[in-house]
Structure 1
């Protein structure tokens, strides 16, 4: 022992080395770069207290660091990883098909985008670096833009730290699966489903499909498809793990020659090129990334008559205005088809509702469309909208800021329309194409004790509504407007009475589903042109309305909505330049706190920084 009662330095280092080795063993067994004390205890077969003592000792010696995170109490990691923070590091977990990258180069991110999905990011750290989490899904391999398996594997090997036979074997299996079934048109005009082998036709296709989809066998590997069953066949086999290649000779419609007046960005050109090669796909990018422009460019490249499907009349009119303003198409070539107007022209913009009605769908189905474009395509899996996906065309394109759905039916979007094509949000933020919004969740007290007592005695939906419409939010909205007097602001509400109360108290216009269409267009036009600085909007403003110049978004209610709703509302502030602010107001101590976390989680995963602030009762 030393005079101070401690261990000799050499023995102390030996103990620390043994403990650090045990910690690395726990990391390896857990298969993660960070672990909790509970995971260390389980992997080392120690008690929770012993694991915490070990981690505390390693932390004191500087060998291990820790950080508080939202999903676990504390996670621990080797400090040497932090010391390498300015250098690219790629960590592969082959069993989970997950890749963690710190400080990736532009080359690495470009390669990963071709065969992996960006799932999460740490956001910007104090030293300016970022960490990224990618996963390799089966869909990523199915739709990867490579003609040969060897080229795909070469791209994978170029960014991973080591070869992984396990991962490469799985990639080869998925690559093969994506080439086992094909739909093609017989010379007599009917559709044929062909399998790569007799075994696949018998044990997969005929087991999963019935006489409603397959009319009769033609050979051991071919079957006659019932007319109109193509979409269902693709969906069923996709869910079984076999995406179908659609090589049918569909009517391309009459040619339509026009040009786009706008210059495409590099990533938009890449989107369009990939779509033209595949003839199907979904452009996925944040609001403000120019999906509409890329969609118009894709239409020009396809060069056929086009049906554009949208969720609202406002968006139909907006599409017509954009086409006339930014292409060589004239008014005789562009028509709208909805409850207020019914014009079928070489380019027709219709609402999903109209296209799903039998008496109208037959009209659209009888025309040879060279292309169908589905705007806000995340609606497609819904029962009513899904009927519109039965419309057939040679080329099918979807547009969406995020395919995330509350019912977890995202894959149906890619089955019915096409695979995702896009650039990760974080990359667009870094390039300066889209302003990264600053999101702050503000937890508010009750306006008074009476309001809190009424909420405490309520149940179910009424309880949530009372928290969502807490009168204290009106004063917070007033304060935020005073703090940002020059910003053009959108105030989002889900409850009509709350919208009217805010409008009456603050003297602002409120746009809801009850607002006449001509009045909506006038108010939105004034906002876009800068003649009006603030609007209160209900769900009619969540998507499809072109409000690109909003600088401030205040979410007063709607926290029970989906993650996609959170992205849409934050997206109303995403612009190429300038600041972008989003404030989410939630009543402290209620279910709104959990809803706020859920609704902003998707933004955080996309690299958007989300912070939280608790507002005190006497905070002025």
Structure 2
């Protein structure tokens, strides 16, 4: 058996790949395999990657040959790669492109590589209804409106389509990024932001123009979106998670591009206008008067000849938006996210309907370069009073999590942390409004929930930025799109069960680089000897997988 000491990879027959971080060639190995291997966890010494069908199809969709994937693994392997792994990469890689979608006049043409595969797919219950007139023994006419549905069905069948049908032209939009912002500071895209935009657009080729960019919170995903807009130069629809995010996009577009104010429109619960660049929330688009009603605001998708649709926080994409996106395949589509983790397991739909992952960078890599703050994560496990523990024991299982989450002893720990972190800018985030109200009253800090009017939210966020108070107490509205760059301490008093996705978003609230370089502090308060501990372990996975150290303190 050949043994190459300086090589960084150990490839295992279950298609997992271990990367020894301290090996001399670790950086080169990471760069070589990241396009086709999914990073599963990245603690201090050994990072684990997994070769999955989706990760391999992502790489094939980005133009990476199978031979290059196998070659990268062999080049950086410490021990010989198991033959079965190379064979599986070959088999999975060859499946991509066995079905090809191209333009055929006013219709689309699906071409299938072999006659046996034609018969297999004709008998597939999801694929078959989407096939139109058979044009030859290996090709079928497909209606344009079925382009997205067909891609979903083919992915589910295990034969992802290579979509070469291209995009329609949207209305022209003259947009340039400014080198000096309108607020007077210099502005340049960071190298990784430009790389991400270039990987998405691919000089306008049919291989580019759709896909997902994965960057940590605080790393400037909005800047990447604006760089893509500058490349595409066409009317753009931007979909966001909430009104705070809408306003953030507005501020950045007005500050860092040459767009006039009247070129940017807002389509939300507060106003419904459209323009060359239109910002909308997922909430307004998925509103309907009753479960049986149509979605009245879906007309926005046809309000302009959009050349680009940007899905901010694409990992949150609601099912109705997935459905309408299936009909938008002729538009360029950009997904932006800090994590592609979806608790509903619909990552495959993101791949099929938005596009493959075009760019990803580990959180700790950007931290090492100073683009996001260093973070220290601490879980504080707090015992309950005997009476409360008995209440927890007698509570039906479905309600036990809330009893544990609202442990009254957490209030004292919050007071102690506020004293300990005096002088820092603190966010306190939780799930249950009654608990948050009690905290806000105890420590005399403003509370922002989903019921707080948008103008009041903006006022409080603004006063926090100005330093008028030390902290804010936030409900789940604090998970997304908060532009609070000075926040450097987050106290999580309760969460949404075991959501890794939420853990990623909350950590991201404090990852903007700090002027003095001091680390951010992320505290999670968890009730000892309850189900909250079990859910916390699952939430921890995201942090440890990204390489963050995780300390545990116990207060019995």
TM-score (norm 1): 0.80
Residue 221 of structure 2 corresponds to which residue in structure 1?
291
1 CA distance for matches of 2:325 and 2:137? Answer: 30
| Aligned ranges 1:429-508 → 2 under 5 Å | 429-446=367-384, 448-508=385-445
Q: Answer yes or no: is the 8 Å Cα contact 2:375–2:521 preserved in 1.
A: yes
Deviation at 1:534, TM superposition (A): 0.3
1 CA distance for matches of 2:14 and 2:400? Answer: 44
1 CA distance for matches of 2:34 and 2:383? Answer: 44
Q: Answer yes or no: is the 8 Å Cα contact 1:354–1:361 preserved in 2.
A: no
Q: Answer yes or no: is the 8 Å Cα contact 1:235–1:415 preserved in 2.
A: yes
* CA gap 1:547/1:306 in 2 versus in 1, 3 angstroms: same
CA RMSD of aligned residues (A): 2.3
Residue 112 of structure 1 corresponds to which residue in structure 2?
33
1:510 maps to which of 417, 422, 447: 447
**Secondary structure of residue in 2 paired with 1:558:** coil
2:58 maps to which of 123, 134, 143: 143
* CA gap 1:590/1:427 in 2 versus in 1, 3 angstroms: same
2 CA distance for matches of 1:467 and 1:433? Answer: 37
2:99 maps to which of 163, 168, 181: 181
1:384 maps to which of 304, 316, 320: 320
**Secondary structure of residue in 2 paired with 1:143:** helix
Bigger radius of gyration:
1
Residue 9 of structure 1 corresponds to which residue in structure 2?
none
CA displacement 1:19-44 (0-9 Å, x = unmatched): xxxxxxxxx9xxxxxxxxxxxxxxxx
CA displacement 1:88-122 (0-9 Å, x = unmatched): 53212144343333424322221121221221123
Q: Answer yes or no: is the 8 Å Cα contact 1:287–1:574 preserved in 2.
A: yes
| Aligned ranges 1:117-516 → 2 under 5 Å | 117-123=38-44, 130-144=45-59, 145-146=62-63, 148-161=65-78, 162=80, 164-187=82-105, 189-209=106-126, 212-261=129-178, 262-277=187-202, 278-356=208-286, 358-365=295-302, 367-380=304-317, 382-392=318-328, 393-420=330-357, 421-446=359-384, 448-516=385-453
Deviation at 1:204, TM superposition (A): 2.3
Residue 603, structure 1, aligned to residue 531, structure 2: no
Deviation at 1:302, TM superposition (A): 1.5
Q: Please, which runs of 5 or more residues in structure 2 have no aligned partner?
A: 179-186, 203-207, 288-294
Residue 290 of structure 2 corresponds to which residue in structure 1?
none
Q: Answer yes or no: is the 8 Å Cα contact 1:253–1:368 preserved in 2.
A: yes
* CA gap 1:429/1:405 in 2 versus in 1, 3 angstroms: same
CA displacement 1:131-161 (0-9 Å, x = unmatched): 2112222222222244544444443333223
Deviation at 1:321, TM superposition (A): 1.4
Deviation at 1:496, TM superposition (A): 0.6
Residue 184 of structure 2 corresponds to which residue in structure 1?
none
2 CA distance for matches of 1:266 and 1:299? Answer: 17
Residue 456 of structure 2 corresponds to which residue in structure 1?
519
Q: Answer yes or no: is the 8 Å Cα contact 2:482–2:509 preserved in 1.
A: no
CA displacement 1:239-275 (0-9 Å, x = unmatched): 2222212222432211212122332222222211110
Deviation at 1:531, TM superposition (A): 2.9
* CA gap 1:274/1:556 in 2 versus in 1, 3 angstroms: same
2:534 maps to which of 594, 601, 616: 594
| Aligned ranges 1:539-618 → 2 under 5 Å | 539-558=476-495, 560-577=497-514, 578-616=518-556
Deviation at 1:606, TM superposition (A): 1.1
Q: How many residues align?
A: 525
* CA gap 1:323/1:297 in 2 versus in 1, 3 angstroms: same
1 CA distance for matches of 2:213 and 2:465? Answer: 25
Q: Answer yes or no: is the 8 Å Cα contact 2:274–2:303 preserved in 1.
A: no
Residue 91 of structure 1 corresponds to which residue in structure 2?
10
2 CA distance for matches of 1:270 and 1:369? Answer: 24
CA displacement 1:319-370 (0-9 Å, x = unmatched): 1111111111111211111111112111111112333464322342253211
Query: Which fold has the larger relative contact order, with Cα–Cα distance below 8 Å and residues 6 or more apart in sequence?
Result: 2
Q: Answer yes or no: is the 8 Å Cα contact 1:560–1:595 preserved in 2.
A: yes
* CA gap 1:530/1:219 in 2 versus in 1, 3 angstroms: farther
Q: Please, which runs of 5 or more residues in structure 1 have no aligned partner?
A: 1-27, 29-80, 124-129
**Secondary structure of residue in 2 paired with 1:440:** strand
Deviation at 1:410, TM superposition (A): 2.0
1 CA distance for matches of 2:484 and 2:111? Answer: 47
Deviation at 1:604, TM superposition (A): 0.6
CA displacement 1:54-74 (0-9 Å, x = unmatched): xxxxxxxxxxxxxxxxxxxxx
CA displacement 1:185-218 (0-9 Å, x = unmatched): 212x122222123332221255244564223222
Q: Answer yes or no: is the 8 Å Cα contact 1:473–1:585 preserved in 2.
A: yes
Deviation at 1:164, TM superposition (A): 5.0
* CA gap 1:95/1:509 in 2 versus in 1, 3 angstroms: closer
